[in-house]
Amino acid sequence: MAHWWLRKLYRSIEGIPRRLMRWGHARFLNPGRIDQLEAAGPTGARMAGVLRQLRSGDLGPSTAWIDRIEAERQRLFRSDALVVDEPDAEPGPFDAGKTIRDISTASREPRPATLLHLLIREFQPAVALELGTNLGISSAYLASALRLNGQGTLFTLEGSPHRVRHAQAVHQRLELDNITYVTGLFVDTLGGVLDDARPIGFAFVDGHHQKEPTLNYFDAIWPHTREKAVIVFDDIRWSEGMKEAWRTLQEDRRIRVAVDLRDMGLCITTRDPSPEGRYVSSAIAA
């Protein structure tokens, strides 16, 4: 009996460190810093416009989509069903014994997920890429923005076939059919996706948060991007390695604008290595 309660307590607090890490996110976006970003040039100004819209909460037709996706998130959070719910299935090291509720806490919260959605609305990519599907919540934010744009496909990559199956069910309920699922380790699948799906206009890197893999994913994605593609790196302060990765990216001349949102880094890529017009923010969400 005591064991059961301990498990329940552990599950309810498991997601807290990640939530605390993100506590200071865009809710407190600093208007002065957004002004600086706006003054940095036309690309910075577009990014600034998105951050202002997020602050204002005036989301127009996105609101109805967000409400539906958040209802799905609540449904997942209430589910004590096992992630691996097929007899004879091989669970893999990260899914064994986990419930849907356990892993739902790894999904991006409503506000940063809304930021991803608004970036897609503003930058209108024909091809968007996501590394780390989990249960499909951020994918739904991205794909619904593509739907509102009237064009574009999302390729979402995930190592766990069980998570992909649950994500597909979420997206079916939301009637989102503009998503291609790619199952397998990023290191095995990313190259093939990049060969098939180009030019990349938007990428969200939300898995395998370590320094070298993160930098390798950027090196792999960049040659396949269009000019002024948006690349969002999640959990840039998750570890010392991720902090180093973010510092390296901020200095990389293939990135024209780098906005530090504390837990997320927003980048706009370029083919022009000149220093003029480069903008690198200090943490903007303080």
Ligand X SMILES: C[S@@+](CC[C@H](N)C(=O)[O-])C[C@H]1O[C@@H](n2cnc3c(N)ncnc32)[C@H](O)[C@@H]1O
214 touches ligand X by CB under 6 A: no
**Which of 239, 201, 206 lies closest to 221 in space, CA to CA?**
201
Indicate whether 186 belongs to the interface with ligand X (CB under 6 A). Answer: yes
Helix (H/G/I), strand (E/B), else coil: 2: helix
Which residues have C-beta within 8 Å of that of residue 75, sequence separation ≥ 6? none
Q: Are 104 and 83 spatial neighbours (Cβ–Cβ below 8 Å)?
A: no
N-term to C-term CA, the chain: 44
CB of 99 to ligand X, least distance (A): 14
The region of 53-61, 104-112, 118-126, 195-203 touching ligand X under the rule CB under 6 A is: 104-112
Burial group, residue 208, by CB count within 10 angstroms (0-12, 13-18, 19+):
middle
| Residue 163 touches ligand X, criterion: CB under 6 A | yes
Choices 26-34, 39-47, 120-128, 200-208; region in contact with ligand X by CB under 6 A = 200-208
Contact status: 106 vs ligand X (CB under 6 A): yes
Minimum CB distance to ligand X, residue 158 (Å): 5
Return the closest-CA partner of residue 107 out of 144, 152, 151, 74.
74
Chain mean position to CA 251:
22
159 binds ligand X (CB under 6 A): yes
Q: Does 206 bind ligand X (CB under 6 A)?
A: yes
Q: Measured from the CB of residue 94, what is the shortest distance to ligand X in angstroms?
A: 6
Closest separation in Å from C-beta 137 to ligand X: 4
Structure tokens at 14: 């498991």
* DSSP code of residue 227: E
From the list 44, 132, 152, 265, which residue makes contact with ligand X (rule: CB under 6 A)?
132
Show the tokens assigned to 165. Answer: 């199956």
134 binds ligand X (CB under 6 A): yes
**Binds ligand X (CB under 6 A): choice among 43, 114, 144, 160:** 160
Least distance in angstroms from the C-beta of 267 to ligand X: 17
Q: Give me the residues that bind ligand X (CB under 6 A), please.
A: 94, 106-108, 132, 134, 137-138, 158-160, 163, 185-186, 206-208
